Amino acid sequence: MNNIICQNIKQRLSLREPLVEALDVLSRLVDKLALVKPAKQEDKEVDEVTYKQYLQEELRKVQEICPSCKDFERDFPSFAFSIATGIGKTRLMGACIAYLYLKKGIKHFFILAPNLTLYEKLMCDFGDPSYEKYVFRGISEFVHNEPYVITGDNYNSARSLFSDNQIQINIFNISKFNTESKEGGKKGTPKMRRLSEYLGQSYFDYLASLDDLVILMDEAHRYHADASKKAINELRPILGLEMTATPTDEKGKSFKNIIYEYNLAQALADGKYVKIPTVAKRRNFVRGNMTDEELDILKIEDAVSVHEHTKLSLEMYAMNNHLPLVKPFILIVCKNIQHAKETYNRIENDMFGGRYAGKVLQIDSSTKKDEEVDRLFISLEKPDNQIEIVIHVNMLKEGWDVTNLYTIVPLRAADAPILVEQQIGRGLRLPYGGKRTGVADVDKLTVIAHENFEAVIAKANDPNSVLSKVTYVELDNDDLASIQGKVVKAATQMDAEEQRTVQKATTETEKKNSQAIMDAKRAVWKVIPLMNSSVKSAKDLSSPEIISRIKSLTREEIIKHTQAVNPIFADEEAKPLLAEVDNVVEIVVKYFIDNIIEIPRMTIQQETYRAEFKWFDLDVSSGFDLPALKEEIIRVSLGVGEKSVDILQVVSGRKFDMPVNQIVNVLIDHDEIDYDENAELLYHLAGQAIDAIASHLEHKEDLPKIVNQFKTVIGNNIYAQMQHHFVMTPIGYMKPKVLPFTGISEQHITEINGFGRIDYRDTVKRGDVPKYIFTGFLKSYYTECKFDSQTELDFANVLESDNSVLKWLRPAPNQFNIYWANGSKRYEPDFIVETADCIYMVETKAKKDLTTEEVQAKKKAAEEYCKNASEYTQTNGGKPWKYHLLRHDMVDKSKSFDYLMAIS
């Protein structure tokens, strides 16, 4: 079991699994290392033999844990973490600092940045608690003792340098102490190496004099050149921690001091923390006599088509899950500045009918001094940034870590596979918590290849290439032509009723009154789900006391809404709605009872674990032979006369608690030990400890006193042994709290240009089904739906025509809280169907997929929901729930619903 400090840091910082493993390695290493600065003689050369022996001994300790570490490569113990881009190297640095401070008391840290972009980013990451990516959020010890950040801009005026308690984090760009400054056109001493009147020495010398300095090198491959290495060695830290995604030096040689590696290939294979990289080209593409310019245009057109599709998918995902909108952008890689200018002008002025005018950013050496370009580039992730296409020429260096790059277009690549391999890391970072969502278009990065498609695939045959984890798709001409559209809210039966009511109104007064009635009904509709903790089933909503509560809450909702929308005229706008509340509440409640499928509200969380200490016998072979200490008082005289010290024996009048109880009280102070769960084991172990102590005593009556004197030591001894018998046992799904019903979520769907809406009974091409919005449904809560396949559309036809089906629902993505894949993915059923005696959760699946691990895992989670739903509804007069996995080849419009539910 890892030490408690390490465990707490992992939990508080929500570290991903690779970072947890990396922190574990660090904790094991620093517990072995000396972490001291070897004595050096300032007036003459260092005793090289002694110093080399020290480094060799420290390296030997490291190799006991990490045999692959062959050399520190510096004049101090230093080791590297090889962590793929996007996994969280900066968060790991924060975890390392927190651990070294909390466990080892180290207070002085020096973070080295390779360039200005990373330097500015690191200042926010470590120095701004309000910043969304602040690395120490969750570390309670840093809330009231906030780390003091000293930078290359404020070190001369820093006033907390000598604080005994406050942790100090120095953040410097390598150029601040590795580059000679110019004075009068001549080279001079770097500023931080010049004498500071405040310090009485240079800031560099001040850092080098610290006896607990730890240096952290971000993008560590940048500091293996001779000048950088020399400057870092001169700081003489007690420890170096190197972070990089590319652990090779300037000569291409691999680092010899790697202690933990989680490279891009591993990240892609794990499929958790980076986007799914995809290489694409136009189907049936043949270059023929196509010029370079014509090929550029084709690739840009396809990139924009993919981009538009991705933008719709991200908008849909954000709306359905009530999350912030992520705005994607395209990265176009040009061969030189002239090529970049031509591409910029082409997109701005000639292509797409001007749709992307003002949304293109050129970033290269000809634009990098433009402040507006820099501002737009830095703020690419922000939703209010209008840029959707970035054109660059080899200007994207380390520290550029946006999460919203979704499409990459290398134009005129001389060596396409190498370029793709290099550029692919730019877009692998994920939004939404840095984890895959399970929605392909939200998790996918697309590289447009075309003329180099086969070359990239050939490169992927090399198992050492990261491209071996890349998937390949050919873009269909029809798909590319129909990708544009917009996200709309699916209409409901209530929307249809409102439309009919408004159409019947002939005068302005009638229209106004009709609108007031419908707005009041919508307010009631919003309030009804709040009653699910006050009733056992939907039919109980019609009781007088619940009706009265709904009326009261509806009035509050109307007032709150009008004040939020139009605070100046809120009272005037609310008045006609409030007047209708008493008239509409019972109507809306009856409509809810009669027309809504009662979907019990619960969360199905996969696989809980029981943490427990297994039964064992205490090892009492050492640590329990304890002496009875004398209890004494020391007395010292005061004043100017002769000083005297005398010792008095304590006459004790205390009655000590039973020895076993004293030990148990110490043990339950540990957070991990639950007394109720482990009482029998605790008394068993405490009893064995007491017996062992008593066996060594000459005077048994001293036992309570000895235990009182050594109870903390005894407790820690027992707890250390308990840790070796701590296990996590899976016990299945958590038992959910069930409420009788939940509101029906808004459904957002994409309206694709050129397709639009069509009656569900009309015939369409099988491949076009996902593109249309189908309308005309009478039994569904939504009057319009989209379907992923012909099978789903055919099944909807069955539901509408079959008399045994009372109502059905195609649930919105966030309608159910059913989780699978260790709780990381949400299950979204295809259909909910209600009949006279049952409610079915139905999933349609291709026959070949029925037995796959994913489908079976979803099935297990869905069946758990239905089991808990049935237990609740049958206890409260409702209908049972059943889950049915339906083979696609069994579905056609002529089948009955009962027949389809009878087959498996």
Which pLDDT belongs to residue 189? 63
**Banded pLDDT at 42 (limits 50, 70, 90):** very low
Angle at 779 between CA 816 and CA 761, to 5 degrees: 110
The phi and psi torsions of 332 (rounded to 5 degrees) equal -105, 125
How big is the chain by its Cα radius of gyration, in Å?
35
Question: Which element (helix H / strand E) includes 100?
Answer: helix 89-104
Q: Is 606 helix (H, G, I), strand (E, B) or coil?
A: coil
pLDDT the model gives residue 353: 84
**Residue 417: per-residue pLDDT:** 62
Q: Give the pLDDT band (50/70/90) at residue 41.
A: very low
- pLDDT reading at 43 higher than 50: no
- How open is the CA angle 807-768-760, to the nearest 5 degrees? 30
Where does the pLDDT of residue 590 fall: very low under 50, low under 70, confident under 90, or very high at 90 and above? very high
**Angle at Cα 535 formed by Cα 533 and Cα 537, nearest 5°?**
115
Q: Is the pLDDT of residue 482 over 60?
A: no
Q: How confident is the model at residue 608 (pLDDT cuts 50, 70, 90)?
A: low
Give dist(CA 700, CA 659) in Å, integer.
12
Kindly report, residue by residue over 13-34, the tens digit of the pLDDT.
Answer: 888 889 999 999 999 999 889 8
Q: Which of the residue ranges 541-550, 640-649, 768-777, 778-787 would you say has the lowest mean pLDDT?
A: 640-649
Q: What is the pLDDT of residue 108?
A: 93
Question: Average pLDDT in the 250-271 region?
Answer: 83
Task: Return d(Cα 140, Cα 439) in angstroms, integer.
Answer: 35
Task: Assess contact for 808 and 493: CB atoms under 8 A.
Answer: no
Does pLDDT of 443 surpass 80?
yes
The token duo for 676 is 């109720």
The residue to which tokens 């209530």 are assigned: 494
Higher pLDDT, 271 or 310: 310
Which range (94-108, 170-184, 709-723) has the least confidence? 170-184
Query: Which pLDDT score is estimated for 190?
Result: 67
The pLDDT of residue 368: 65
Name the residue among 84, 99, 91, 86 with its Cα closest to residue 25.
99
From the list 739, 893, 744, 730, the residue with the least C-alpha distance to 807 is 744
pLDDT at 805: 97
**Does 6 have pLDDT greater than 90?**
no
DSSP letter, residue 347: I
Burial (CB count <10 Å: 0-12, 13-18, 19+), residue 353: exposed
Tell me: the pLDDT tens digits for 834-858?
999 999 999 999 999 999 999 999 9
CA distance 498 to 491: 11
- Residue 10: how many CA atoms within 13 Å on its side-chain side? 18
Predicted local confidence at residue 692, as pLDDT: 92
Note the pLDDT of residue 335.
86
pTM listed for this prediction: 0.67
Cα angle for residues 252, 255, 257 (degrees, 5° grid)? 175
What does the pLDDT average to over 463-481?
Answer: 61
Quickly list H helices, 597-698. 659-667, 675-694
What is the 3 state secondary structure string of 796-849?
A: HHHHHHCCCEEEEECCCCCCCEEEECCCCEECCCCEEEEECCCEEEEEEECHHH
H/E element, 885: strand 881-887
The total number of residues written for the chain in this structure: 904
Identity at 829, one-letter amino acid code: P
Query: For residue range 662-718, what is the model confidence (pLDDT) as tens digits?
Result: 899 889 888 778 888 888 999 999 999 999 999 988 888 888 888 888 888 999 999
Check residue 192 and give its pLDDT. 74
Q: What pLDDT shows up at residue 229?
A: 80
pLDDT of residue 793: 96
Q: Look at residues 149, 196, 193 and name the one whose alpha carbon lies nearest to residue 171.
A: 149
Lowest-pLDDT range, 185-194, 728-737, 848-857? 185-194
pLDDT at 502 over 90: no
More confident residue, 461 or 485: 485
863-873 pLDDT tens trace: 999 999 999 99
Q: Describe the strand order of the beta sheet including 881-887 as a list of residue ranges.
A: 805-809, 831-835, 839-845, 881-887
CA-nearest of 390, 369, 364 to 379 is: 390
Average predicted confidence (pLDDT) for the chain: 84
Predicted local distance difference test score (pLDDT) of residue 678:
87
Spatial contact of 113 and 174, defined as CB atoms under 8 Å apart: yes
> Are β-strands 632-636 and 168-173 bridged in parallel, bridged antiparallel, or unpaired?
unpaired
Q: What is the pLDDT of residues 800-822, one digit of tens each?
A: 999 999 999 999 988 999 988 76
3-state secondary structure of 294: helix
- pLDDT at residue number 569: 87
